[in-house]
A and B are shown apart, each in its own frame.
Chain A
Amino acid sequence: MRIVHYVNQFYAGLGGEAEAGIGPRALEGTVGPGRLLSQLLGDEHEIVVTLVCGDDYAASNTAVAEELVGMAREAGAELLVAGPAFGSGRYGLVCARLVAAAEAAGLPALASMHPDNPGISDAGGAPVVAAGASSRQMRPTLQTVAAAIAKLATGANLTVADGRVARAARVGQLVDQRAAARAVELVLRRLAGDRESTEVPVGGFDVVTPSAPVDKLASATVALVTEGALVPAGNPDRLESARATRWLRYPIEGMDSLASGKWESVDGGFATTAANADPNRIVPLDTVRRLERDGVIGRLHNELLVTVGNGTQVASARRFGVEWAAELRKAGVQAAILTAT
């Protein structure tokens, strides 16, 4: 196959952050990690052109993906390979968008990045195989990529066994055995001790260990936290309306209620009219303050922790959760009420 390989400015050897603003360009033959990939691929497949773009330029211009796909086509690509991007956010995002754009244009494509790369979901249903967390895992990652390329060349789809990660498009296919026979076979395998085999892999999420129950609510400190993007009117700290990269804290000490006009939700994922008319609909400060006064809880924590859950990557959300837990524990908080939209 004629392969066109995409790498960022760093792996192309053009420079680091100072060169992250450079636009798309095509280089003849293999560059950087493409050299080892080419060796691993052997003689059957050839990397004819390497496309390069600066991470900042490519990540901030969504039209770049289509432009690069056009360049790959001009080079006669039969397959576009992007990365490996490892854990790098901008690079991963660009690789993901690139394979999504290529597949949408009918050009087979393959990206590689770490499963926790925040850009991974932008690949849509286009194939992505797992990379290590950093370039120290270059060789084993490229071995996975090379094996995936060889399989794609036969016209087969990649599966979990090939290191496939992220969302996979469902493709109809004819199989020899009817569903009932396959189901019985799976049951027999399970009875024989196989816990992994399935035809429908379910997305993996963390197993969350529930915290121990609060012993005495009447003396407990309770915190309010939300992913509904409730911020002071005007959004002074510029919280994102989607795909949060951070969280914020706001003092609520001495406040009996969240006043309309003083607070607003900047969440881009739902109609905020009701929440803005009465922000207690999204963070129940008025009620919790009353319960504090009535002695039902000991104390309300003096800060509201806020982020936006709209389109936010699981990896980012996991980090916010860990940081919130550490923060609240340090402040002596025993329970948190998370309102989620």
Chain B
Amino acid sequence: MITNLVTIAEQVGAPRIVPGRGIPYPSGDPNVPPSAEQSWRRRLVQRALDAVATAVERPTIFEVGDVEEAHA
């Protein structure tokens, strides 16, 4: 599940949760330039795919890693 309402997703027991950046745009971000938004969406979906390929036992949050930090 990709959503910005992470605590609610946890509370109702969604097993695999990937946090988005805003309630009205779970798989996008209108506040960044189009190319940055494309890259964000790709990393977000990639993270969701990581999640479904990972065994979990309880609601688990799969944060999308920060690109800058990843390079640091």
Contacts and interface: CB of A to CB of B under 8 A. Distances in A.
A170 B48 CA distance: 39
Interface in B9-33: 9, 11-16, 20, 22-30
Given A281-B30, A337-B45, A213 B55 contact: yes
Contacts of A274: 22, 24-25, 28, 30
A337 to B, nearest CB: 5
Interface stretch (A75-83, A121-129, A200-208): A200-208
A338 B9 CA distance: 11
Interface string A262-290: 00000000111111011011111011101
B57 interface: yes
Contacts of A27: none
Given A208-B15, A284-B41, A228 B26 contact: yes
Contacts of B20: 339
Interface residues of B, number: 37
B24 A341 contact: yes
Interface of A: 205-215, 217, 222, 228, 270-275, 277-278, 280-284, 286-288, 290-291, 296-297, 335, 337-341
Interface of B: 1-5, 9, 11-16, 20, 22-30, 38, 41-42, 44-46, 48-49, 52-58
24 contacts: A210-B55, A215-B53, A274-B24, A274-B28, A280-B41, A281-B24, A281-B25, A282-B25, A282-B26, A283-B27, A284-B41, A284-B44, A284-B45, A286-B41, A287-B42, A291-B46, A291-B49, A296-B46, A337-B1, A337-B2, A338-B1, A339-B20, A340-B2, A341-B26
